[in-house]
Amino acid sequence: MAAHRCGLSVVCILIFSSLAHPSSCDTLEKANDNTATKRRISEVNTDGSVAGEDMNERQWQSTDVEVNRSDGTKNGETFAPAKDQFQEELVIRPLHSGDIYASFQFRTLWDTDFLQEGQKKVSHYRLFPKSLGQVLSKFSVQELHISFTQGFWRTMQWGQPFIPSPPGAELWVWFHDTVSDVDGNWKELTNVLSGIFCASLNFIDMTNTVQPSASFKPLGLGNATDHRFLRYATLPREIVCTENLTPWKKLLPCGSKAGLAVLMKSEKLFHSSFHSQAVHIRPICQDEQCTSKAWELRQTLNVVFDHYTSGQGKKEWSLFKMFSRTLTEACPLASSSKVYVDITDNPEGELFELSPATPLLSQAVVLGDRRTYSVYDLTRAETFGQLRSFNLLLRWKGDSGDMLRPLLHAERYVAGFGLQTGEIHTVIYNNHPYRAFPVLLMDSVPWYLQLYIHTLTVTSKSRDNKPSYIHYQPAKDRHRPHLLEMLIQLPPHSMTEVTVQFERALLKWTEYTPDPNHGFYVGSSVVSALVPSMVAMSTNFTQDQPLFSSFVPVKEESSYFVRVYTEPLLVNLPTPDFSMPYNVICLTCTVVAVGYGSFYNLLTRTFQVDEPSPPLAKRLANFIRRIRGVPLLA
Amino acid sequence: MGLLSDPNRRKALTNLLTRLNAPICMVCYLAAIVWFMGLAFEPFTLRTYMSENAMGSTMVEERFSSGERALSLAKEFDAHKRKAGGMPVEWLVKAMQARGLEVFTQSFSRKLPFPDENKERYMVRGTNVYGILRAPRAPRTEALVITAPCSPGNSDNQAVGLLLALAQYFRNQIFWAKDIIFLVNEHDLIGMQAWLEGYHHTNITGMEYSPLQGRAGSIQAALSLELSSDVITSLDLILEGLNGQLPNLDLANLFYAFCQKLGVLCTIQGKLQRNDWDTAEGYTHAAQTMMLMVLKQACGRSWGDHGLFLRYHIEAASIRGINGFRHYKMDVATIGRLLEGMVRKLNNLLERLHQSYFFYLLPSLSRFVSIGYYMPAFGLLAVILLLRALDLWVNLGAPALEAVDGVTEAEQPSGPGVLTVLTPVVISHLTGVALYLLPVHLQEMAVEHFPVSETEAVVLTAVAIYTAGLALPHNTQRLLSGEGTEQGWKVLKLTALLYLAVLLGCTALINFSLGFVLAVTLVPITASMTPHMPKALSALAMVLLSPAFTILYCVFIYQELIEAPVSVGEGWMLFLSVISQGILDHALYGSLVYPLLALFIYPCWLMFWNILFWS
């Protein structure tokens, strides 16, 4: 044990020396307490073997940081050759509206590349969840993004989220270009994922799957452009609850036993205004030369807490109040575990007060804006203080502000009334004062809304705005949805309205859902754009960036990538009255029996003029005449 | 059907029908009236019950207690309203924002076709203010609406106060599954129309409005609140909407259930429910309540701010607080609790309200008459028209049937020329078109030449055209080439009878009350009309049973039923204002009663008038 401690102290010193360096990540260190750290780590690692493993981790990481500083990696990720790695972080952003946004990110790196030849079978898993690893290899998945969201992100009040997601479930997958039967793989994959995440992803079929040509590009390695290998589907109706959270938490190396994940208690997470959890898997470079690939698994969970409903008038936040837990330790398997609090709007502490105060500050460029964060490093014992528990407290002073004017914002609604036709309006706002920029609008509309594509109009500033690129795939009844993708140039400071009329189809009676009068959902439309940035985005990925700012690769300094989802639509279709089938059956049967019967009778009967039967005397006379052989009387 | 395919039996049947035609018609008419009056008799009606499962079993708890706050907000609102001389937009926006709502405004303007003298407005300009309470973890697909009007003077302040207090209370609750829109509309129905058209991005009435910025998906239900005093004795439920549309009966059931639960006196048509159905008074009371509903529904206007929602397939009702002379008074908190309960139950809805009836009459809040029970009353009236038509048809066909025996089938005169029938039809309809178009379009000319106001000009022009139509037979006859034959009027009457039957039938399907009221007055005279009757007497009868006089009777009966009887002079003034309101309702909200009467019912009546003066 003594030897271990000795080794550990060396590790600690290494870590701190790396932090103390004037590093490029703008981390300022104001205070240092070596002894506290040492004590904490020794407490955590009571078991010898775990401690040994942990020690290896830390050594790798610390040497890695050195490497980074000397020559830098390509994609900003720190790599441990042939080693898996796990990072966790929590970002807390007090929102403009007075609400509070908590964003968890967990990143697991898996240094294996089974898509290369000769490495088809992987049987050893350490940090990476086996269930997902097997799925990746079995279905030759290149990239997988899945999100479950309950609620709608209110851009006008909350600004942009770190990683946006539409209400309900969203799944998009890039398959490897060696896959021959993409549709078959997709179908199986959705069913398997449905089991893994305990969600109704098995309802994804060809009627709600599309292949966007431009809106969803791979985020990881490999510049695949052939959208035959892409599948995208949303389930706007999906309800997200604890049964989805539990399997999601199980994918974490520490589960919900240690680290930031202990905060994820469903009774609090679902007592919020917005809840979104996602899994993103993509291949990234393993080293700076990019000779081999590694798999990156990012698990994100975003929650917005409402200061009205939970605060009971008092505007005061703490980790305990939000999550009914406090932090006591980092996940022992994590190479970094940090809590960031956005204090950009609060440089002098006039908006809110933060306790405990932290000496660490960090700056990052996120979504076109330079933000300042207070950093709490959970791997350091001093973070937890005397009580050995870390409870961040945030006390509001200012008032909640007006609505925001985010640079890019979109909304959608159904216009018109009645059950025959309607019009879908998509309104996109460019609030940039002087810059125009193009956006990609993607709409996937179910077949039972029959779009009249000739009525498609795009108007900005009451003038026709011709899209420079249109990709339209018409629907096939009961087989595939409409897909409409357009590249639209948004003039500065403008509102662009896209309208298209539709007719509501009459479904077959077995096609109605059990609650047809609720209406039918149309998924969110997706607006993807490179938005002009207010500050220079850093394309230099040599920095050790926080996770939340490093998800979408930035190609140029002057703009950043934003994806905005509109609200889903609820459309009523003409619905028969199912509650009285008996009456209907009786009525139709009667009508058919009476109407059809008599008409059939009238139409098929041959009418003959009835000969009035002759009187008895005449009949008698005729009878005698017939016997006599003379002509009969008329 | 064998009956009809057998010529002998068919002959026997038609013989019977033609021989007994008049008595059968009389019996039908009397049966219709008796049937209709019987609908109000309690043993013949059904008890109301909650059909919607999501609202039935899940009882909710009402905890709203900030009645005092509502009243102080009402006072504050009143003060700001006076200061602003209209909608206090800024104050309201701030007040809603402070309660944590997303607040938006909508400005609108509307020039009325002619000045509305009842409400003293012509150029209307106003602003609607609405705040949206976003439901946590809901994707903005469904919404409920609570509205309160910003009325001039002292009225409806408490409604706005209660609305704001409810907003504040609701905002702190976590259980909302649908967004809730709190709307304060200016200029009552005009503001409501502007908001609804803005929300659904339609323009059917030529309103000018600024587009809405915030939406919350498809609206499932709406409640409109009218409250003008701090304490109330009872709550009145108003259901009749535009064109006689009614909300789903479950909405009324919901209101009734909560009134029972909270011990609130509730009325419909301003009439309390009585328990003594077996006495004459009890029956009369129920019959009066039902008659009021029929009259209100028949006039096709929206009797509260809720009425315009119905067009958009949004179930809506108005709740009006009444402060009468009773000992038992309720405070605003109780009404707040009632609304809270209703909104929470609506929030629980999984589907749109669709389970219960959309077509019904209410003799009291706990009893209803469904479409299956009241339709026979109308059917019996419509049958009279068809029987008379059959009689005429047989009459017309009789000589033709005899001719079959002979050989002169080809020489049979092909009846009266198309012209003899077509001319009166076309001319009557042209008069109808004139009645529809001219009053509004000629108002300027009328004002120039006569010392009347615009409104009077419109109404009096309408009355003048209506009266001028009575001189039509002379003009028609002048246009006709020859003498009107016996067969001519029969064909015309046959056409007119079938036309009227179809018209009334279609009207009754959409708006039973209107169809029934028109049928009751039009059927007897049209069914019995022939040119051989004493001219003066039957002309008088026809005029007294014409559509215009029907409206006049309705005005008097209505005033009688709401226990505010009027003298003949006042009645006449009311009649004129009803006409102007009808024209305005058509122009402003798209009510269809005026065009129906002017373009179809009146021309149809004119055709019968023509028959009377057939020469």
pLDDT value of position B480: 62
CA distances from A554 to A246, A540, A541, B450 (A): 33, 9, 9, 78
pLDDT at A52 over 90: no
Of A415, A568, A602, the CB nearest to B201: A415
Three-class DSSP category at B150: strand
Q: Are A498 and A440 in contact (CB under 8 A)?
A: no
Pick the range with the lowest mean pLDDT from A109-118, A577-586, B334-343, B592-601: A109-118
CB-CB neighbors (< 8 A) of B1 in chain A: 594, 597-598, 601-602
Chain A contact for B201, CB < 8 A? Answer: yes
Task: List Cα–Cα distances, B515 to B373, B375, B383, B512, in angstroms.
Answer: 15, 10, 14, 5
The verdict on B358 touching A (C-beta cutoff 8 Å) is no
Percentage of chain A with pLDDT > 90?
A: 37
With CA atoms as reference, the chain A residue closest to B170 would be A309
If pLDDT is split at 50, 70 and 90, which confidence band does A40 have? very low
Least Cα separation, residue A348 to chain B (angstroms): 26
Residues from chain B contacting residue A402 (CB–CB below 8 Å): 97
- 8 Å CB contact of B102 and A569: no
Residue to mutate among B4, B11, B104, B140, with most A CBs inside 10 A, is: B140
Structure tokens at B526: 């049209």
B313/A contact by beta carbon, under 8 A? yes
Closest CB from B141, B174, B311 relative to A567: B141
Please report residues of B whose CB lies closer than 8 A to that of A150: 137
Nearest by CB to residue B313, choosing from A417, A425, A515, is A417
Express each pLDDT in B319-344 by its tens digit. Answer: 999 988 888 888 899 999 999 999 99
What is the distance between the alpha carbons of residues A73 and A285, in angstroms, rounded to a whole number?
A: 9
Split at pLDDT 50, 70, 90, the class of A304 is very high
Query: What residues of B are in contact with residue A515 (Cβ under 8 Å)?
Result: 350-351
Q: Which two tokens stand for residue A506?
A: 């009459």
Q: Is there a contact between B311 and A568 if contact means CB atoms under 8 Å apart?
A: no
The mean of the pLDDT values for chain B is 88
Q: Are residues A517 and B137, on separate chains, in Cβ contact within 8 Å?
A: no
Task: Please report which helix (H) or strand (E) contains residue B86, including its range.
Answer: none
Where is pLDDT greater, at A311 or B363? B363
Instruction: Say what the pLDDT of residue A146 is.
Output: 95
Answer whether 0.90 is exceeded by the pTM: no
Q: Which domains does chain A have, with CATH numbers?
A: 84-396 (no CATH), 408-571 (2.60.40.740)
In 3D, which of B308, B302, B320, B309 has the Cα closest to residue B148? B320
Mean pLDDT of B295-304: 92
- In this prediction, residue A309 has a pLDDT band, given cuts at 50, 70 and 90, of low
Range with lowest mean pLDDT among A294-303, B34-43, B54-63, B567-576? B54-63
Torsion of CA B66, A97, A159, A236, to 10 degrees: -20
Q: Locate the chain A residue with the closest alpha carbon to B100.
A: A308
Would you state the structure tokens that stand for residue A452, as one six-digit string?
């009249």
B141:A602 CB<8 A: no
What band does A60 get if pLDDT is binned at 50, 70 and 90? very low
At A189, is the pLDDT very low, low, confident or very high (cuts 50, 70, 90)? Answer: very high
Q: How confident is the model at residue B552 (pLDDT cuts 50, 70, 90)?
A: very high
Is A275 within 8 Å of B137 when comparing Cβ atoms? yes
What percent helix, strand, coil does chain B show, rounded to 5? 60, 15, 30
pLDDT in tens, B274-299: 888 888 899 999 999 999 999 999 99
Asked whether B293 and B554 are in contact (CB, 8 A), the reply is no
Interface test with B, best of A101, A147, A152, A312 (most B CBs within 10 A): A152
pLDDT one-digit tens code per residue, A546-592:
777 777 777 777 888 899 999 999 999 998 877 677 777 888 888 88
Nearest CA in chain A to B138: A151
What burial letters (b/e) apply to B524-541, b meaning 16+ CB within 10 Å?
A: bbbbebebeeeeeebeeb
* Cβ contact B171–A151 (<8 Å): no
**Cα separation, A260 vs A469, whole angstroms:** 45
Using CA coordinates, name the residue in chain A closest to B177: A151
pLDDT tier at B579, thresholds 50, 70, 90: very high
Q: Is the dihedral of CA A338, A339, A345, A351 positive or negative?
A: negative
Query: What are the start-end ranges of the H helices in A228-270?
Result: 242-250, 266-269
Whether B137 and A568 lie within 8 Å, measured CB to CB: no
Answer yes or no: do A309 and B355 touch at CB < 8 A.
no
Whether B95 has a pLDDT exceeding 60, the answer reads yes
B389-436 pLDDT per residue, tens = 988 888 887 654 444 444 444 444 455 567 777 888 888 999 999 999
Q: Which range is least confidently modeled, A12-16, A196-200, A381-385, B365-369?
A: A12-16
- How many A/B residue pairs have CB atoms within 8 Å? 104
Region of poorest pLDDT, from A432-436, B118-122, B295-299, B569-573 = B118-122
Question: What pLDDT, in 10s, does the model give residues B243-271?
Answer: 999 999 999 999 999 999 899 999 999 88
Contact list in A for residue B200 (CB cut-off 8 A) is 415-417
Average pLDDT (B124-151) is 93
Tell if the CB–CB gap between B200 and A150 is shorter than 8 Å.
no
CB-based contact B151:B229 (threshold 8 Å): no
Q: Is B305 a residue whose pLDDT tops 50?
A: yes
pLDDT at A9 over 70: no
What percentage of chain B has pLDDT greater than the value 70?
Answer: 93
Q: Is B62 helix (H, G, I), strand (E, B) or coil?
A: coil
Residues A537 and A526: their CA atoms lie apart, in Å, by 23
Nearest to A599 by CA among B10, B1, B3: B1
Higher-confidence position of B226 and A558: B226
Closest CB from B1, B139, B313 relative to A568: B139
Residues of B in contact with A575 (CB under 8 A): 354
**The pLDDT of residue A24:** 38
Q: Which of B104, B132, B134, B137 is most worth mutating to test chain A (most A CB atoms within 10 A of its CB)?
A: B137
pLDDT band at A2 (very low <50, low <70, confident <90, very high): very low
Residues A344-362 pLDDT 10s: 877 677 777 888 887 788 8
- Chain B neighbors of A270, CB-CB under 8 A: 137
Residue A39: the pLDDT is 39
- In the prediction, which pLDDT does B119 show? 82
Q: Does the beta carbon of B590 lie under 8 angstroms from any beta carbon of chain A?
A: no
Interface touch A570/B5, C-beta < 8 Å: no
Any CB–CB contact under 8 A between B3 and chain A? Answer: no
In angstroms, what separates the C-alpha of B536 from chain A's closest C-alpha?
Answer: 47
State which residue of chain B sits closest to A271, comparing Cα positions: B174
Of the candidates A285, A194, A295, A298, the residue with the CA atom closest to the CA atom of residue A252: A298
Q: Please report the domains of chain B, with CATH numbers, ordered by start residue.
A: 7-39+374-613 (no CATH), 54-365 (3.40.630.10)
How far off is chain B from A387, nearest CA to CA, in Å? 33
pLDDT value, residue A195: 94
Alpha-carbon distance A124 to A117, whole Å?
17
What SS3 class is residue B117? coil
Beta strands across the sheet bearing A230-235: A209-210, A230-235, A168-175, A141-150, A274-285, A293-305, A100-110, A85-94, A336-342, A369-377, A360-366
Q: Tell me, what's the pLDDT at B313?
A: 92
Q: Does the bond joining B595 to the residue before it have cis omega, within 30 degrees of 0? A: no
ipTM given for this complex? 0.88
How confident is the model over A173-196, as a mean pLDDT? 92
- pLDDT, residue A122, reads 65
Q: What is the mean pLDDT of residues B93-106?
A: 91
